[in-house]
Structure 1
Amino acid sequence: MHKNKAADSPVFLVVDVQVDVVAAAYRRDDVVANIAALVDRARAKGIPVVWVRHQNARLRAESPGWQIVPELAPLDGEPIVDKRFGDAFADTDLGEVLERLNADRIVLCGALTENCVRSTFNGALYRGFPVTLITDAHTTVDRRPSGLDYSPANAIAVLNYQAESTTLPGLASQAVSTAEAFTG
């Protein structure tokens, strides 16, 4: 488990913003533009950017749909973590990457809201990292499991609320907009 450090050493974690993952996503272009602005702002402030890519039977590694969207381009040397589970920490080297970067906090965005973003949000908290979720920089697709009214807007609102209200012993999460992130 990560031990919370006193220094302010955030890492910007961009989860699964891949061609096929976000092709039909809710407000795709707005969300990708927000993430691009956040990436630029993080880099300008010297905040490390860590990229996460998902792969499975439908999202095969090295395929065109598996690539990070063309509007976002990892720089040489920026870590890329490949995963097979929703939680970007599960069976990956993300924990080691964050340790090397001396991370004490995660700023989170990406896709899909109710799957990999939520799982990574929870995984980070359970591992002792405070998490800041960017409320207008995560998205999902329109799925209605078992007839539930779980529209993309509802899924996003639920995770934003979770980020605003979750506390664990010794740490808490928060939710901020793109305009509020990396401004201090």
Structure 2
Amino acid sequence: MTTLSDRPNTALLVIDVQNGVVTGSHNRDDVIANINTLIGKARAEDVPVIWVQHSDEDLQKGSESWQYVPELVREESEPLIHKLYGDSFEDTELEAVLSDRGVGRLVVTGAQTDACIRSTLHGGLVRGYDVTLVGDAHTTEDLSPYGAPGPELVIAHTNLYWKFQSAPGRRGGTVDTAEVSFAAADAG
């Protein structure tokens, strides 16, 4: 249903599952296991796996905190997008990488729910993509000391509101790992 012409393919986005991002995150190990399951499924179905890696003053490029968690291993042929902003599209090569692969639908996983995940979900939808969030394959840290709801509520709320997102000619959606289909015509 994407509004992008000649873009029938789906890609799996793995966003910011870096040591310094997910240390102490809610349900970290289960989320990483689910992402690994999705990576395996995508590779088996010849679906592009696209890795996104954030850099900033707390995640210095090349540092241990900047590195992807050791449980997730990127294959050399899989694109790695470096970003400086929450939205994975903003000032990166992501759009060109997706265009080259004929991708019009994104399946989104990673961290943090209330920052880079939300920004990328909205960034993809407004750019014409169908965007599916994997509800049990994203996480965030506890920011309740700063006035935010607890991480389990942030995740649940994001899953709920994204399930019903749509715009003319495109749609969002939320599914769990077991329900993910990489077929372009499927919502899950």
TM-score normalised by the chain length of structure 1: 0.94
CA distance in 1, matches of 2:106, 2:38: 13
Rounded Cα–Cα distance in structure 2 between residues aligned with 1:66 and 1:88: 16
Aligned-residue offset at 1:8? 3.6
Matches within 5 A, 1:6-155: 8-144=8-144, 146-148=146-148, 150-155=149-154
Distance in 1 (CA, whole Å) between partners of 2:43 and 2:21 is 24
Decide whether aligned partners of structure 1 residues 58 and 183 sit closer, same or farther in structure 2, where only a CA change above 3 A counts: closer
Q: Distance in 1 between matches of 2:75 and 2:180?
A: 21
The answer as to 2:173 corresponding to 1:174 is yes
Q: Is the 8 A contact 2:111 2:139 kept in 1?
A: yes
Match of 2:186 in 1: none
**SS of residue paired to 1:64:** coil
Q: Aligned with 2:122: secondary structure?
A: helix
Partners of 2:147 and 2:152 lie apart in 1 by: 16
| Matched-pair contact (CA < 8 Å) for 2:7–2:99 | no
Spell out, residue by residue over 1:37-84, the C-alpha distance to the aligned partner (whole angstroms, 9 max, x if none). Answer: 000000000100000000000100011111111111110110000000
Q: Aligned-pair distance for 1:6? A: 6.2
Secondary structure of 2:134 counterpart: strand
How many pairs does the alignment contain?
A: 182
1:119-160 CA-partner distances (Å, limit 9, x unpaired): 000000010000010000000000026534x11111101111
SS at match of 1:43: helix
Structure 1 residues 74 and 151, CA gap change in structure 2 (3 angstroms):
same
Which residue pairs with 2:158 in the alignment?
159
For residues 102 and 23 of structure 1, what CA distance do their matches in structure 2 show? 34
- Select between 104-113 and 4-13 the one with higher mean Cα deviation: 4-13
Amino acid at match of 1:180: E
Aligned residue type for 2:171: A
Letter in 1 for 2:41: R
The alignment partner of 2:87 has SS state of: coil
Q: Distance in 1 between matches of 2:20 and 2:147?
A: 24
Identity of aligned residues (%): 42
5+ residue gaps, structure 1: none
Question: Matches of 2:156 and 2:4 in 1, distance apart?
Answer: 28
Give the letter aligned to residue 76 of structure 2.
D
113-122 or 4-13, larger mean C-alpha shift: 4-13
Query: 2:52 & 2:4 partners in 1: Cα distance?
Result: 22
* 1:10–1:106 contact (8 Å) kept in structure 2: yes
- 1:182 CA drift (Å): 2.9
